[in-house]
């Protein structure tokens, strides 16, 4: 749209029902604060700027709302006197004369740009107020949208509704769009002659009609309008978000054997023909390229898995893990800030931290890169086509050359040149019949501990 638009996001609530030490809009959905999801949605609706109305935890909420290049101005609502009062906290921004004003809420984390654009389109077509509603089979508790001849004539709260009005299943979401040229005049007409003495934004419907304005409504999917007041509702929003994103990925060509057991982050990227087995969790910053396989019970965060690579089962990739094409990180392995070269294998019970593993190298079971000295982290460099025997400890900083061979059970504390064999273990000794003596002594000690009859 060529029309200018200000999005007013209301995020000043005290969040008392959340029973939390922080504002509810800071609670994450898909590892991202709810307020960031909302800002992302309004940004995609072609807005010009955001006016963020804050109360509790104002600085933290403002910081969490910083998404991309969206221009955000913050305003403090010092008193909680209703939604109409909250919108007018951003009076300075509204007064600049935007064509459109969108009002939304910081806890409606599932909203998308579609209904917001539809509401703006309603303004472009001549409405002064456009309310965003949703249809539901469970309308109890919601204000009903009453429409006549294509116009919205009222939002009737349930306590004030007749039996016929209570049967209406089109409900008020609380989101709306307002003609920016008339917004301040309309908002200033909202009164507080009600039981709570508060200023309700929903009064704009009758106010706009009373001065000859046109009021309409647009529909949104019920799920998108889901708000959050407590931890149970937060879990519902998380479930809805995960279901939606999994579906999008599977339609785009990702295979999920048991999608309901896979948990994604807001920024998870998975390429076409990748296979995700059951019970996989993606933290922030995970990118899985086309054709990769993530086996069951793996956890991936801040990591990149290239085409043809395999992970797990029961593997953990931490931030900085980067697996090249055709590489493998197997069961009960952990990689942190480690680059695994093309075709390299880290198969069993192994920790690779602050390390580079060259192409074609094999890391034996139980290998550890000892990267931390109690104060600082150090790097391990392993060349191409090397063989690291099982139960080896590579004490960083250390370098293993191309084609080198590390004998099983070694503790490597010095660099190993290319093509060399390194052994770092004590020589094996044999003591004939010593096992029998040790066993007899142990049995005697055990017998001496038994109480006498």
Pairing mode, if any, of strands 387-388 and 362-363? parallel
- Note if 27 is an active site residue: no
CB 8 within 8 A of CB 101: yes
How far is CA 351 from each of CA 210, 281, 336, 358, 428, rounded to the nearest angstrom?
71, 19, 8, 16, 26
Burial tier of 70 (Cβ tally within 10 Å: 0-12, 13-18, 19+) = middle
Q: Give the integer Cα–Cα distance in Å for 279 and 99.
A: 48
Quick check: 405 and 422 in contact, CB under 8 A?
Answer: yes
Q: Are 363 and 384 in contact (CB under 8 A)?
A: no
The candidate with the shortest Cα–Cα distance to 128, out of 233, 208, 74, is 208
CA distance 265 to 234: 15
Q: What are phi and psi of 445, to 5 degrees?
A: -65, -40
Residue 142: both structure tokens together: 């919601």
Please choose, from the candidates 132, 104, 106, the residue with its C-alpha nearest in 3D space to the C-alpha of residue 5: 104
Parallel, antiparallel or unpaired: strands 170-179 and 129-135: antiparallel
Catalytic residue among 27, 85, 348, 378: 348
Contacts of 134 (CB under 8 A, 6+ apart): 170, 171, 173, 219, 220, 221, 222, 224, 225
Residue 53 and residue 188: Cα distance in Å, rounded?
17
In whole angstroms, what is the distance from residue 290 CA to residue 271 CA? Answer: 4
Q: How far is the C-alpha of 166 from the C-alpha of 58, rounded, in Å? A: 38
Spatial neighbors of 292 by CB under 8 A, at least 6 apart, are 271, 274, 275, 305, 306, 307, 308, 309, 310, 311
Task: Give the separation between CA 406 and CA 420, rounded to whole angstroms.
Answer: 8
Catalytic residues: 348
């Amino acid at each position: 749209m060529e029309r200018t638009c200000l999005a007013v996001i209301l995020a000043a609530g005290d969040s008392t029902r959340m029973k939390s030490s922080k504002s509810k809009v800071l609670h994450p959905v898909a590892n991202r604060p709810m307020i960031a999801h909302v800002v992302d949605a309004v940004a995609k609706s072609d807005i010009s700027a955001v006016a963020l109305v804050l109360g509790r935890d104002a600085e933290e909420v403002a910081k969490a709302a910083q998404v991309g290049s969206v221009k955000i101005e913050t305003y403090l609502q010092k008193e909680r006197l209703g939604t109409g009062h909250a919108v007018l906290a951003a009076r300075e921004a509204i007064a600049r004369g935007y064509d459109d004003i969108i009002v939304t809420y910081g806890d409606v984390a599932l909203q998308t740009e579609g209904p917001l654009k539809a509401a703006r389109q309603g303004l472009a077509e001549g409405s002064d107020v456009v309310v965003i509603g949703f249809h539901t089979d469970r309308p109890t508790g919601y204000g009903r949208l009453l429409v006549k001849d294509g116009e919205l004539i009222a939002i009737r709260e349930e306590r004030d509704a007749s039996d016929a009005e209570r049967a209406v299943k089109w409900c008020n979401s609380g989101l709306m769009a307002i003609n920016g040229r008339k917004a301040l005049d309309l908002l200033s007409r909202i009164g507080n002659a009600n039981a709570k003495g508060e200023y309700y934004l929903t009064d704009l419907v009758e106010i706009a009609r009373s001065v000859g304005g046109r009021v309409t409504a647009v529909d949104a999917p019920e799920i998108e309008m889901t708000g959050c007041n407590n931890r149970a509702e937060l879990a519902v929003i998380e479930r809805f978000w995960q279901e939606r994103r999994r579906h999008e990925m599977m339609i785009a060509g990702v295979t999920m054997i048991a999608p309901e057991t896979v948990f994604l982050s807001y920024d998870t990227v998975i390429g076409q023909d990748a296979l995700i087995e059951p019970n996989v969790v993606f933290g922030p910053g995970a990118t899985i390229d086309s054709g990769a396989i993530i086996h069951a019970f793996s956890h991936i965060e801040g990591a990149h898995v290239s085409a043809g690579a395999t992970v797990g089962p029961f593997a953990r990739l931490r931030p900085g893990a980067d697996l090249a094409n055709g590489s493998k990180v197997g069961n009960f392995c952990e990689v942190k800030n480690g680059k695994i070269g093309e075709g390299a294998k880290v198969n069993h019970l192994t920790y690779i931290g602050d390390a580079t593993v060259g192409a074609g190298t094999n890391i034996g079971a139980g290998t550890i890169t000892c990267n931390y000295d109690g104060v600082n982290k150090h790097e391990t460099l392993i060349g191409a086509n090397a063989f690291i025997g099982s139960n080896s400890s590579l004490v960083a900083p250390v370098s293993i050359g191309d084609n080198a061979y590390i004998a099983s059970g070694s503790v490597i504390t010095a660099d190993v040149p290319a093509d060399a064999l390194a052994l770092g273990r004590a020589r094996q000794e044999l003591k004939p019949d010593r096992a029998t003596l040790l066993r007899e002594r142990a049995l005697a000690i055990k017998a001496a501990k038994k109480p006498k009859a």
